[in-house]
Amino acid sequence: MKNKLFASLDTRQVVTSLTAGLVAGLIVIVVSISLATLVFSGEMSSYVPQGIGLFLFGGFALGLVLSILGSMPGIAIGPQDGPAALLAVAAGGITAALAGTGDPDSIFSTIVAGIILSSLVTGLTFFLIGQFKLGNLVRYIPYPVVGGFLAGTGWLLTRGAIEVMAGQTLSVQALLNLLQTQMLVRWLPGTIFAIIVLVVLRKVNHFLVWPGIILSAILLFYGSLVVAGISIEQARSLGLLLPQFPSGGLWKPFTLINLNQVNWTVLANNADKLIPVPLVSLIAFLLNASGLELVAKRDIDLNRELRVTGFANLVSGLGGGPAGYHMLGATALGQRMGAKSRILTITTTLLCGLILLAGGAFVSYLPVALLSSLLLVLGLSFLIDWVYDAWFKLPHTEYFIVLASLVVIAAFGFLQGVGAGIAVATIVFVYKYSRVNMIRDSLNGKIYHAKVDRPAVQREILQEKGEAIHIFRLQGYIFFGTSDKLLNRVRQLLEDQTARELFIVLDFHRIHGLDSSAVSSFTRMRQLAEQYDIFLALTSVRPDIRQQMERGDFKADQRVQFFPTLDHGMEWCENKLLQKYEASTQFIQVGIKSQLRSTFPKPALIEKLISYLERMEVPENSYIIRRGDAPDSMYFIESGRLNVQLESEDGEIMRLRSIRSGTVVGELGLYLKGERTANVVATQKSVLYRLQLDSMKKMETQDPDVASALHEWIARQLVERMTDNNRAIEALLD
């Protein structure tokens, strides 16, 4: 069975990964040297070789752990500038505090102790964040912000590469100096080389391109030195070659002797400079990981990578190495070179180990322009992807976020740029979301009814007066950008409404939450209800949302009611509306004969129909029909109330229909001859008239005219019910 590290590798992948690994390894080495020089500067400059050893050990330890345990192949990892900058500040404070002691070894040991503690705490922080699966929080960073982060990375890589080639920090004056002849020789060849590489890579895709480019660049460089008559020493003095490394092993472990030399009091006094290291490292890691996902075009198991990187930092810290994490630039360069195997990480790690243990004399013969040009290639490719190509791929608002992040990163730094990008993205999101109509559907009681079977006279009233009931089915999250629109909609409704009787139903079934501004808008809506003598019904409100509204002084009263479903809220409004108009129609609980007389096709046959019915008085909570029963009867309701409902095993009840006097239940089962699909329960003491299947067959034989009239009456009932449903569906689809 093949080893997982080398599974599915071919010659192309091996060559590409080795080449990319050597380049990435050189980047890690150069970065480690630079950061070690930054931390051990000034009075501690004599300890730079030991510092380089510690930083190279960090790169070696981090790479070794990632090579074995990492989830994504082709990752370069090493010490980073963010944590190193904080370590440099802490080292300066420790050096200043102990400057008068005359014991440089104590200063060095105290600084190293600070490095060790910061690495261990960083490793533990990373591990715990990954263990509790909190790494995915970075997924909430908007895509354009990550794009702006990559564009900013591209700018800084481009700027840094030119600064290294030119040998000076870029500024307005420096830009003018770059055009001088002696400066053009330093940066223009490398820039031309980088542009040629970009053009070649866009035209040619072969695994030997990168090895050929690097080898050709080295040969061209030394050929130019020969033609110009410049010696190796002269080239190094001109800054054209990397500086010479100390010979021999660079790393020495932190021993008990060093531990006894640590001044813990001074270290504690400078702890405030070390405490931000884990936080800065965590934020930078998550941003780098998000950028790598876009570059590699694949997802990273962030939580696993956090745990692995945390463990790697613990190993690095135990050996005196600084905190580190995935390197965006070196990894992205490897990905663009086509290196997508662990060979890149292994090669980088072995190169760091070789320099660490044997010295790096051979590295000092590499031209500075080569590494700078490779970084310039990467920086320019990032800028092309996210400044040029993104213009054609992204909406203009999102492209603006990319540019805003880029500008702030270039002017102030990464964290500020990401923060600015998130702020702009949030403003854009709020603006766009506030334009989304939170009212999913707008209906009225004339076209949408409660699932209540009512007698014909009540249906006529609701059909005539139902426009007094206005239903707003809401959606999304109600916040300050949308709540005022709903309030204005209600105000317009009140201004246009001529009838004094008005009901407003607000359905919260698709509402996920609301903020305090929304609660304030609902409170003002309740004030309008009192002012204009209207009723508010809020349906399907989640308990936490209702509790939030009640804390904001929006509570139920005579004019404001909460209901578990839209159906219950509609029934309440319809009942309120009927209370006003039923007195004028003088509709009261009358006998079955009177109820049928107004709707039955042939009123003269009602007496014969009733002769086939069996009168029943049923108490409250009686089951008239049970789910699964045989369909042997249908029931006419003279008085009382029935519910058609489903009941789950845990006792939860879902009401399907509510049935009042003057209507019928059980007719579908009787006609379709299928088993009962729901329960029918008397919610009040009721008087029913039962028509059994045998009686219906007898009626069809002995009194076919009565049976025919009954079938016609049932058909009308079903058609009216279907018409109501179709009308509601059409309104919802508009």
- DSSP 3-state helix, strand, coil percentages of the chain (rounded to 5)? 65, 10, 20
* Pick from 64, 13, 39, 27: nearest CA to 328: 27
Q: Give the full edge-to-edge strand order of the sheet including 503-514.
A: 439-444, 469-478, 503-514, 535-539, 560-563
Amino acid 411: pLDDT: 86
List beta partners, residue 616.
688
DSSP letter for each residue of 641-669: -EEEEEE-TTS-EEEEEEE-TT-EESHHH
Which positions of the chain have pLDDT values less than 70? 1-9, 102, 170-175, 205-208, 210, 242-243, 245-249, 359-363, 371, 497-501, 582-590, 728, 731-734
Question: Residue 452, class by beta-carbon neighbours within 10 Å (0-12 exposed, 13-18 middle, 19+ buried)?
Answer: buried
Quote the CA–CA distance of 562 and 548 in Å, as a whole number: 14
Find how far residue 498's CA is from the centre of its chain: 47
Amino acid 702: pLDDT: 93
DSSP letter for each residue of 19-87: HHHHHHHHHHHHHHHHHHHHHS-GGGGGGHHHHHHHHHHHHHHHHHHHHHH-SSSS--EEE-HHHHHHH
Q: At what angle do helices 704-733 and 693-702 cross, to 10 degrees?
A: 120
Give me the residue spans of the domains in the chain: 4-428, 439-585, 592-733
Amino acid 588: pLDDT: 45
Q: What is the CATH number of domain 439-585?
A: 3.30.750.24
Amino acid 401: pLDDT: 92
Quote the CA–CA distance of 424 and 721 in Å, as a whole number: 52
Strand pairing class (653-659; 642-647): antiparallel
Q: What is the CATH number of domain 592-733?
A: 2.60.120.10
Question: Residue 540, class by beta-carbon neighbours within 10 Å (0-12 exposed, 13-18 middle, 19+ buried)?
Answer: buried
Amino acid 500: pLDDT: 56
Task: Kindly report the number of other CB atoms within 10 A of residue 107's CB atom.
Answer: 26
Amino acid 363: pLDDT: 66
Residue 447: half-sphere exposure toward Cβ, Cα within 13 Å: 15
Q: Is 635 helix (H, G, I), strand (E, B) or coil?
A: strand
Amino acid 4: pLDDT: 47
